[in-house]
């Protein structure tokens, strides 16, 4: 597996030297690299056109659509990295979990997991279960040339939240009830999701992804002592399993201000920060030896351009406190965002940070 990863990342001579990979490795960069979480998708008219009549999970299983949708924001914005078009629920669907991604809602699970019998559906993921992912990543690496491709997966807590609640949730009450009330079942669930997550990320790196991001989007719902006891061992195991593959590992969650130190301990190379904690303060909390990714509030993109510019310059300035900085939003692009603002922002980040 490791040899595969090295072979494919050697595919394009400029790749290893890209600003994005250099920043992740905390090396000097020609400009601050920038990409946006959810840069593909509903804010782009070309995405809405190509998705017409195609359900989300079907789109995620068709390599030619995955390739085209992943490339759309790279062409339009000139961002420094592509993110594989998929969803965190794809590996769970691939092993047979009965779920759908409903327009305007998100993931919905037919039989939420509430007891030990519910775990049976979570079998191991093999590369054959997601052969369309391998095919799409290979196709993308060829098309992208010197632009790195980021593979991704959902982290065990965030996946567990959908599996237990049955769909999107505000407070994750049932998830926490299981975590506090059934530690044995919680551990078994986390173990299985950890293995699935590792397997899904390995598939993407083996096919040529140059970096990976672990989305623990909803883990900010937990207090630090709960993160340490019930989540950290699994985050650690995921990052340790990926280390031999030699690609940068990014760890992101929303509302994680109080968890940043622990997330730094989990073993990623880059810690993603939402908009609530300024990057210079985040650098202090995460500690040395990590790059940071973030963290413009996605809602700032609705403000007049002067405000966007001022706030983006502030993110860049504070990002200099970190050992490496990848510019991003503090969470995903909102569907109603004007793509022209993102284009202008991308150019601003490149021009302002060029040395």
Q: Annotated catalytic residue: which of 22, 36, 47, 51?
A: 51
Measure the CA–CA gap between 328 and 312, rounded to whole angstroms: 10
Q: For residue 135, which of 70, 39, 45 has the smallest C-alpha distance?
A: 70
Q: Please identify which residue in 32, 43, 210, 217 interacts with ligand 1CP, judged by CB under 6 A.
A: 217
Q: Annotated catalytic residue: which of 36, 47, 132, 162?
A: 162
Q: How far is the CB of 119 from ligand 1CP (least distance, A)?
A: 21
Helix, strand or coil, per DSSP, at residue 52:
coil
107 binds ligand 1CP (CB under 6 A): yes
Q: For residue 208, which of 132, 128, 140 has the smallest C-alpha distance?
A: 140
Is-catalytic flag, 162?
yes
85 binds ligand 1CP (CB under 6 A): yes
Q: Which is nearer to ligand 1CP, 20 or 215 (CB)?
A: 215
Measured between alpha carbons, how far is residue 90 from residues 119, 152, 185, 353 in Å?
Answer: 17, 11, 23, 36
- CA 116-121-124 angle, to 5 degrees, is 110
Q: Please identify which residue in 40, 81, 130, 211 interacts with ligand 1CP, judged by CB under 6 A.
A: 40
Looking at residues 111 to 170 of the shown chain, list those that interact with ligand 1CP (rule: CB under 6 A). Answer: 152, 158, 168
Measure the CA–CA gap between 305 and 324, rounded to whole angstroms: 26
215 binds ligand 1CP (CB under 6 A): yes
Q: How far is the CB of 337 from ligand 1CP (least distance, A)?
A: 12
Q: For residue 298, which of 268, 259, 244, 341 has the smallest C-alpha distance?
A: 341
Task: Kindly compute the dihedral angle of the four CA atoms of residues 274, 297, 316, 267, in this order, to the nearest 10 degrees.
Answer: 10
Helix, strand or coil, per DSSP, at residue 100:
strand
295 binds ligand 1CP (CB under 6 A): no
Q: Annotated catalytic residue: which of 87, 100, 280, 297?
A: 87
Q: How far is the CB of 170 from ligand 1CP (least distance, A)?
A: 9
Is-catalytic flag, 51?
yes
Is-catalytic flag, 42?
yes
Q: Which is nearer to ligand 1CP, 46 or 87 (CB)?
A: 87
Residue with smallest beta-carbon separation from ligand 1CP: 106
* Strand partners for 296: 329
For 310, residues 6+ apart whose C-beta sits below 8 A from its C-beta are: none
Q: How far is the CB of 91 from ligand 1CP (least distance, A)?
A: 12
Q: Please identify which residue in 78, 103, 183, 288 interacts with ligand 1CP, judged by CB under 6 A.
A: 103
Half-sphere exposure of 262 (CA within 13 A, CB side): 21
Q: For residue 160, which of 148, 147, 177 has the smallest C-alpha distance?
A: 177
Applying CB under 6 A, the residues found at the interface with ligand 1CP are 38-42, 51, 56, 83, 85, 87-88, 101, 103, 106-107, 152, 158, 168, 215, 217, 332
Catalytic residues: 38, 42, 51, 87, 162
């Amino acid at each position: 597996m490791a040899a595969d990863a090295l072979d494919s990342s050697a595919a394009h001579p400029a790749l290893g030297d890209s600003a994005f990979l250099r920043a992740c490795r905390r090396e000097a960069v020609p400009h601050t690299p920038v990409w946006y979480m959810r840069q593909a998708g509903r804010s782009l008219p070309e995405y809405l056109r190509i998705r017409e009549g195609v359900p989300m999970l079907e789109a995620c299983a068709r390599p030619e659509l995955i390739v085209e949708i992943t490339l759309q924001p790279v062409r339009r914005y000139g961002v420094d990295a592509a993110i594989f078009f998929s969803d965190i629920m794809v590996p769970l669907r691939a092993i047979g979990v009965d779920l759908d991604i409903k327009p305007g809602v998100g993931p919905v699970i037919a039989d939420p997991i509430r007891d030990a019998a519910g775990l049976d559906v979570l079998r191991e993921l093999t590369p054959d279960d997601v052969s369309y992912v391998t095919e799409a990543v290979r196709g993308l690496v060829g098309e992208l040339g010197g632009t790195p491709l980021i593979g991704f997966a959902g982290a065990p807590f965030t996946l567990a939240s959908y599996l237990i609640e049955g769909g999107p949730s505000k407070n994750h009450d049932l998830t926490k009830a299981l975590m506090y009330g059934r530690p044995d079942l919680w551990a078994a669930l986390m173990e299985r999701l950890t293995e699935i997550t590792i397997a899904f990320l390995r598939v993407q790196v083996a096919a040529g992804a140059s970096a990976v991001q672990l989305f623990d989007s909803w883990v900010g719902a937990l207090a630090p002592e709960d993160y340490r006891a019930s989540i950290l061992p699994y985050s650690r195991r995921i990052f340790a399993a990926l280390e031999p593959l030699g690609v940068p590992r990014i760890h992101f969650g929303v509302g994680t201000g109080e968890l940043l130190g622990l997330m730094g301990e989990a073993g990623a190379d880059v810690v993603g920060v939402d908009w609530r904690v300024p990057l210079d303060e985040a650098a202090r909390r995460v500690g040395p030896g990590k790059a940071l990714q973030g963290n413009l509030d996605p809602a700032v993109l609705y403000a007049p351009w002067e405000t966007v510019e001022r706030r983006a310059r502030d993110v860049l300035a504070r990002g200099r406190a970190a050992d490496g900085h990848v510019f991003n939003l503090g969470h995903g692009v909102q569907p109603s965002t004007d793509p022209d603002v993102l284009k202008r922002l991308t150019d601003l980040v490149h021009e302002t940070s060029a040395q």
